[in-house]
Structure 1
Amino acid sequence: MTTSEKAPENYEDLIRLIHDRYDQMSKTYQRISVYLTQNPNDVAIRPISTIAASCNIHASSFVRFAQWLGYTGFKDLQTLFQKRLSTAAPGFDARKRALEDELQLLEDHSELGFLRDLVVRDIASLQGLLDKISAADMVNATELIERADTVYLIGQLRSEPVVNLLRYILTMLGKRCVLLDESGGLATHVARTMRPTDVLMAVTFRFYANEVVNIAEEAEQSGVPIIAISDTTLSPLMKSARILFAVPEHEYTFSRSLAAPMCLAQALMVAVAARLQHNSVDPRIPTVTGQ
């Protein structure tokens, strides 16, 4: 974008522009975009030097990025985030700090301390999930799964536990499903048997599994509806997915938890169970021992 073009005047238009131009960006601008979209509250209140340090990117790159979008400087772009914050729900960091204060947690690097830290983060992440997930997307995803002839599932690396949970519940509900397992090297070939009357549920987080992304892109070209769970709307699954559930990961560390995406996956399955059982009051998910 040149400076002669009009820059977005509100936060929603800015994010839409970032999505539209993401593939054309340099690697540095893509990293900046991911940070801006995943940490809007931090962008609103922190100085540019602190924001830049968080990304390990020089502050001048943020200024050039803002100018590339049509702003005179980074402060003009930051103003949109500040306006958004005035009406936004508390962010992840605010929730985390409040929970820490409530539990009176101190610096604790013991085994129990690690557990407490994870629990605090997970509670904040789960609360944030309610703010991020669209009610319409939940309804549409549930309808797609219910109507599908076969539900295909793919998730690799950290995402594998999520799709295994989905396979277990769908199987116990009597819903035909196929796990596209990478073992044997046949996942891509099995995926090519999918039809538009099926649905693909794809799960991947940064750093995104190439085979998951490639299968989703090929499925979309074949007219197969895709329900995706990822960590950001800038995920490579965004282009292929009919519905994308973005579950932000605020810290790319060893201790990243799957609590939020697992909760989302189970909520979808409970909604599917309610439809299949015609029981919206008390849907049941059968278990192996229960049978």
Structure 2
Amino acid sequence: MSRSNQLVAQLLTQSPNDVAIHSTHELARRCKLHASSLVRFAQSLGFTGFKDLQRLFRERLTKPAPGFETRARQLQTEISETGTDARKLLAELVSQDAAALDRLLGDVTDRQLDQAVELLARAETIYLLGQLRSAPIVELMRYMLTMVRRRVILLDPAGGLSTHMARLIGPGDVLVAVSFRYYATEVVNVTEEAIGRGVPVIAITDSDLSPLTRNASVLFTVPEQEAAFKRSLAAPICLAQAIVLALAAHLSGSGDKVPPIPIVTQSF
């Protein structure tokens, strides 16, 4: 892209809500461009003008995310279509997961992995943050990072202390934030505050329009079905494992001693 198009694209992906509510001239002012640059950008994508493109962002803002009841009804619809045979349900899930993993392999770049590994290797302490259905991902990362002797802290929401614990994160640390639509409010708030204090953030989320994408040092997007009840964690968990394994390989190659996972024996 040209420099002007890069600036417009950055605005669209990092501030989608602002794009929905502000005028073309105000958005152009933020990009330090003429309004015609925004119009040409939209036309290059096949829109008649910038307002035509802007309409998509307004629809996204006014359309509420489907809640649990909506997804539960979706599950009932899916069951009525596929039946109640457990084997068929398993086969469908495996098929969806295989497609998601294959897509993940094509989407993640060497540069993203290298940047994430470099941040994790340099960090004095690795902080992990994920709630709701993202919690299993950061729990696994805590286990694996502990096994390769990294100093790691899980920002556990128990007791309401995660926000206060997050204020201990310094610029020499790194925050790994994981959240998918319907983004946990505390995860978004903690991530934005950390970025504001200069903390490097590795974000794992589902879309370039996720609130976690704004100014993240490294961004991994793992798309998923928006309204489906059975949204799998296979792809993001695989990605989390790959990041930690790549870190272990990096530390081993750099001469840092990575102790093997201890074997626990018990006599009876």
Give TM-score scaled by structure 1 length.
Answer: 0.65
The one-letter code sitting in structure 1 at the alignment partner of 2:50 is L
**Aligned equivalent of 1:188:** 163
Which of 137, 141, 152 is the equivalent residue of 1:166?
141
**Aligned equivalent of 2:64:** none
**Aligned equivalent of 1:93:** none
Q: C-alpha distance in 2, partners of 1:200/1:188? A: 13
The one-letter code sitting in structure 1 at the alignment partner of 2:243 is L
**Aligned equivalent of 1:46:** none
Q: C-alpha distance in 2, partners of 1:207/1:165? A: 21
Q: Decide whether the 8 Å contact of 1:229 with 1:245 is kept in 2.
A: yes
Q: Where in structure 1 are there 5+ consecutive unaligned residues?
A: 1-7, 28-65, 75-105
1:69 has 2:36 as partner = no
Moved over 3 A (4+): 11-18, 106-109, 287-291
CA distance change for structure 1 residues 13 and 250 in 2, over 3 Å: closer, same or farther?
farther
Q: Decide whether the 8 Å contact of 2:203 with 2:216 is kept in 1.
A: yes
CA distance change for structure 1 residues 16 and 181 in 2, over 3 Å: closer, same or farther?
same
Q: Decide whether the 8 Å contact of 2:11 with 2:19 is kept in 1.
A: no
CA-CA distance at 1:131 after TM superposition:
1.8
Q: C-alpha distance in 1, partners of 2:265/2:241? A: 18
* TM alignment of 1:98-137, pairs within 5 A: 107=82, 109-137=84-112
Q: Where in structure 2 are there 5+ consecutive unaligned residues?
A: 22-46, 56-80
Q: C-alpha distance in 2, partners of 1:68/1:135? A: 36
Q: C-alpha distance in 2, partners of 1:211/1:273? A: 30
CA-CA distance at 1:69 after TM superposition:
2.2
Which of 9, 12, 17 is the equivalent residue of 1:18?
12
CA distance change for structure 1 residues 250 and 115 in 2, over 3 Å: closer, same or farther?
same
Q: C-alpha distance in 2, partners of 1:263/1:212? A: 21
1:278 has 2:259 as partner = no
Q: C-alpha distance in 2, partners of 1:116/1:69? A: 44
**Aligned equivalent of 2:71:** none
Give TM-score scaled by structure 2 length.
Answer: 0.70
Q: Decide whether the 8 Å contact of 2:104 with 2:235 is kept in 1.
A: yes
Residue-pair matches, total: 211
The one-letter code sitting in structure 2 at the alignment partner of 1:137 is Q
**Residues 1-57 of structure 1 deviation map (CA, whole Å, 9 limit, x = unaligned):** xxxxxxx9xx99986563255122559xxxxxxxxxxxxxxxxxxxxxxxxxxxxxx
The one-letter code sitting in structure 1 at the alignment partner of 2:241 is Q
The one-letter code sitting in structure 1 at the alignment partner of 2:13 is H
Higher relative contact order (CA 8 A, sep 6+): 2
CA-CA distance at 1:252 after TM superposition:
2.6
* TM alignment of 1:11-50, pairs within 5 A: 18-19=12-13, 22-26=16-20
The one-letter code sitting in structure 1 at the alignment partner of 2:17 is D
Q: C-alpha distance in 2, partners of 1:114/1:240? A: 39
Q: Decide whether the 8 Å contact of 1:270 with 1:284 is kept in 2.
A: no
**Aligned equivalent of 1:152:** 127
CA distance change for structure 1 residues 290 and 230 in 2, over 3 Å: closer, same or farther?
farther
CA-CA distance at 1:284 after TM superposition:
8.5
Q: C-alpha distance in 1, partners of 2:7/2:223? A: 20
Q: Decide whether the 8 Å contact of 1:169 with 1:285 is kept in 2.
A: no
**Residues 166-190 of structure 1 deviation map (CA, whole Å, 9 limit, x = unaligned):** 0000011110000000001110111
